[in-house]
Structure 1
C-alpha cells in the first residue's frame, strides 16, 4: 500500500522503517507508536530525500530530544568551522541540527549537512530568502517565498520553521498590547516587516494549503514557529503570544487533515512559575502536538550563562509536557557560538532533557542513574566515566588532582563516605589516621 507521509502511513496501518527505528530506540511498542503518529502526538521528521537519516521521534511518551543551532552568516562566514561543529554535535548524539544560515553559499552548506547528518535537519527558509534572491525584503514576492521553502524541502531537510500564525489578527493584537521587546523572533520580525511594508497578509497563512502541498510531497514536517514568543520575562504569557498559539492550533488541524506532521514552537523567556501553565495551555490549544521550546530562559540578567538559565527552564518545561528542547549556548544574545560554546550548550540541554525524562517516567531513564549510583557506591572510577553524559571533563578533573588513595578523591580523602561505609558494612576497620590500609 502506498503512502505519502509518516502520518499517512500510520493512519493506513502501515509501519514504516522509520517507525521501526524509533520504536527500537525508545523501547516503545510499535503499535502504540503507530497510533500516536496517526494522531499527530508523535512526529517523525524524515524527508524522503534525507538518505543518511537515522530517524528519531518527537512527542508523547518518548525521550526529550535536543536541537543544536548552527550555520553561516555575513559576519561569521566559515563553512569548514560550521561543519566541524556538525561533526562534534553528531558525536555528542544531538538528535537534531537546525541550519540557520542566512548569507552566502547556503545551499552548498545545507546539502553537505543533509548528506553527512544522521540527525534530523531543520531550517528557517525565510532567513535564506534575502540572500537567495539578492533582493530587499519588501521586494520578495509570494511565489519567491514558496520557492525557497520548496528548495529546502528538495534538498532534504526534515522540518522547516514557518511563522504561519503571525497573521493580520495576530499583528493587530500585538499592536494593541505593547511589549517591552516587541517581536524577537528573527523570522517573525522579517515576516512582520514584509507584511507592514507591503500591506499584505502573511503569505504562509493566506496560502497555507500551498505550504501543505510542499510538505506532503517531501514528507516535510512543519514546525509552526512562534513569532510572538516572549523575548523577556516581562512579555511572557501575554495577549500576542496566546493569540498566535490559538492560530497555530487551528493550523495544526488543517495540516493533520492533509497528513502533514506538525511540531509547535514555544517560548522564549519566561519566569519559572509560568512554565507549567504554558505547557498545559500549548498541549490543550494545539491538540497534543509535540512542543518544541526555545529555553525557556528564566531570567534576563545572565548574559554569558544563558545555557544555565535555559537548562533550568528546559527541565521544568519538559517535565510538564515539552518534547523537544532547543539548546542555548553561553554566547546567546552575544555572538555566533564557537565550538566550545556549542559543547556547553549541548551538555546543558541534555542534562535538562534527561532530568525531565526521569520526572516524566520515560522508559529506562532512571536505569542510567541507577548504574551511575552503583558505580559510585563501588568506587569504580572508569565505570563512572563510561556512564557520564560527557566523560571528557570528569576524566580531566580526576587526572588534575590525584588522591593518595585510589578509592577516594582529593575532596574527602580517607574520609570518603562511600569508602568508609563499604569498609564498615563488610566488617573492616576504617583506618583514618594510619598510613597502612
Structure 2
C-alpha cells in the first residue's frame, strides 16, 4: 500500500477499496469522488484497524449521514444496555456511532464495539483521559493527552473529536465578550479548565503537528470540535463561536498538508433564521470541509422534546450545507438516554437527513417516497410498513384500532379518499351507508 490515508491516495489518483464501496453506495463516479476527497470536501473515515467497517462518505453531494452518541457514564454503568443501543443504531441505518464512555472499562467496551460495528466509530479522547491516564485533570501533562489519542487510534477508531480551536486567543475573546451560558461543550470546558489551572496553551493546539502524525498513521479522520458552540439561542453566532471557527479553518489546512481527513463540528443552539448563514460561513472559513452539526436546536424551551427541536434545525442545516447530523434524543439536557430515547432520536435525525437529501436533489433520495406513494395508492399496508423508516411503529398504530374495512384505516374508514377514488376510476359504485 503506497498511501497512508484516503486523502493521500486520492491526491495520488489511487482508487481504494473504500472509495469503490462509497461510489457504489452513493451513485457517484469514482473519478468525481476521488477528486472531492483530494480537495477535502468529502471524507471516508476508515481506520486501518477497523476490520468490520462498511465505509461511508461524508460531504458535499452525498447523502446526509447521522451519528448516534452512546457510552458508559459514572451514573449509569451498564455495558449490555449500551451494546443494545449499538445494535439498534445499526438496525435503523445510523452511519456512525460515537462512544462517549468516560467511566469504567472504556477500552474493553470500545474494542468490542469496533469489532462488532459496521458503522463508523468516533470518540472524544478528552472524555477518556482521566480514566485512561488514572490522573486528575490538574495532574495531566500536555503530551499525556496525545497518549490517549494514540490508544484510540490503535484500537480502530475512525474519527476523533479534538477541540484544538480553543486556544489562548479564543479564550481571551471569550472572557472579554460575555456569554449568557458560557461553555457547554464537555470536552471544551475540560480543556478550558486545564488551560486556566496550568496556565498552558491547549495541548492539542500546541502539539497539533504531533497529533496529526498519530492520526495519519492509522488514517483517523479529525473532527475539529466546537468548544465554543452556543448552548442557548442568545449565544449563537457570537464572537467566541466565529473566532473558533476561524481557528478551525487554519487547522484544517494544516491537517490537509499532512493528508489527514477533516470534518468541522458546529452548533449547537441557534434560531432558524441564522442557520443557513452559519452553514455558508463554515464552508467559506473552513474551505469546504464537511460540516458535522449537533442540531442545531431551534428553541431552548423544549426539554423532553429536543429530538424535535434538533430535527427541525438539522433539516434546515443539511439543506444549506451540513453533511453530518448528530442525533439528539428526548433525554437531552435531562439524563442518559434509554433505549426508547435512542430510538426516538435516531428516527427524528433520519427524517431530518432524508428530508434534506430530497431538497438537495441527491440521486435516488425520492425513490422510497415514490414507493410509499405507490403503496398508499394501492392501499397496500404491508408494503407501507416495509418502506417506512419505522415500520414496527407504523404497524402498531394501524393495528391498535382495527378498521372494519381492511382496505382503509380507522381514521376515514369507508370514506377513505384513496378508496373512493380508486372505486370510481375502476367503474365501481361507492356505497357509504351502513346497513342495519
Match of 2:244 in 1: 244
Cα distance between partner residues in 1 of 2:309 and 2:143: 40
**What's the offset of the Cα at 1:435?**
4.6
Distance in 1 of aligned mates of 2:278 and 2:71: 30
Instruction: Map 1:258-407; keep pairs closer than 5 Å.
Output: 258-407=258-407
Could you tell me how far apart the structure 1 residues matched to 2:87 and 2:398 are? 27
Q: Per-residue displacement from partner, 1:330-368 (whole Å, max 9, x unpaired)?
A: 000111100110000000000000000000111100111
Offset at residue 134 of structure 1 (A): 2.0
Aligned equivalent of 1:218: 218
Q: Distance in 2 between matches of 1:81 and 1:409?
A: 36
Other structure's SS at 2:245 match? helix
What is the CA–CA distance in structure 2 between the aligned matches of 1:71 and 1:367, rounded to whole Å?
Answer: 35
Equivalent residue for 2:132? 132
The alpha-carbon deviation at position 434 of structure 1 amounts to 4.9
Gaps of 5+ in 2: none
Mean CA deviation greater in 218-227 or 81-90? 81-90
Q: For 2:305 and 2:223, how far apart are their aligned partners in 1?
A: 27
Counterpart CA distance in 2 for 1:370 and 1:71 is: 37
TM-score using structure 2 length: 0.99
C-alpha contact (below 8 Å) 2:162/2:204 kept by paired residues? yes
1:48 aligns with 2:48: yes
Query: d(CA) in 1 for partners of 2:8 and 2:199?
Result: 37
Q: How does 1:204-215 map to 2 (within 5 A)?
A: 204-215=204-215
Aligned pair in 2 of structure 1 residues 335, 434: CA closer, same or farther (>3 Å)? closer
Question: For 2:397 and 2:339, how far apart are their aligned partners in 1?
Answer: 21
Deviates more, 1:38-47 or 1:398-407: 398-407
Cα displacement (A) at 1:426: 2.0
1:365 counterpart SS class: coil
Match of 2:119 in 1: 119
Q: Which moved more, 1:419-428 or 1:245-254?
A: 419-428
Partner Cα distance (2:130, 2:10) in 1: 37
Point out where structure 1 has 5 or more consecutive residues left out of the alignment: none
In the aligned structure 1, how far is the partner of 2:130 from the partner of 2:386?
A: 46
- In structure 2, C-alpha distance between the alignment counterparts of 1:426 and 1:41, rounded to whole Å: 52
Residues in 1 aligned to 2:429 and 2:274: alpha-carbon distance in whole angstroms: 53
Length-normalised TM-score, structure 1: 0.99
Secondary structure class of the residue paired with 1:67: strand
Whole-Å separation in 2 of the counterparts to 1:397 and 1:294: 30
CA-to-aligned-CA distance 1:14-63 (integer Å, 9 cap, x gap): 11010011111111111111111111000000000000000000001100
Is residue 2:98 matched to residue 1:60?
no
What does 1:167-182 align with in structure 2 at a 5 Å threshold? 167-182=167-182
Q: Does the 8 Å contact 2:67/2:327 carry over to 1?
A: yes
Alignment of 1:183-198 (within 5 A): 183-198=183-198
* Whole-angstrom CA distance in 1 between matches of 2:170 and 2:297: 23
Match of 1:425 in 2: 425
Q: For the residues of structure 1 that align with 2:388 and 2:172, how far apart are their CA atoms?
A: 50
The runs of at least 4 consecutive aligned structure 1 residues that moved more than 2 Å come to: none
* Superposed CA offset, 1:233-255 (max 9, x none): 01000000000000000100110
Contact in 1 for aligned 2:143/2:203 (Cα 8 Å): no
Aligned residues of 2:305 and 2:330 also touching (Cα < 8 A)? yes
* Residues 1:9 and 2:9 aligned together: yes
Cα distance in 1 for partners of 2:410, 2:102 equals 49
Deviations for 1:159-183, whole angstroms, at most 9, x for unmatched residues?
0000000011100110011111100
- Where 2:373 maps in the other structure, the secondary structure is helix
| Aligned match of 1:82 | 82
Partners of 1:365 and 1:88 in 2: CA distance:
23
Distance of 1:307 and 1:350 partners within structure 2 = 11
Tell which deviates more after alignment, 136-145 or 147-156: 136-145
Match of 1:92?
Answer: 92
**Count of residue pairs the alignment pairs up:** 436
Aligned twin of 1:18: 18
Work out the CA distance in 2 between the residues paired with 1:425 and 1:276: 45
**Cα gap change, 1:399 to 1:141, in 2 (>3 Å):** same
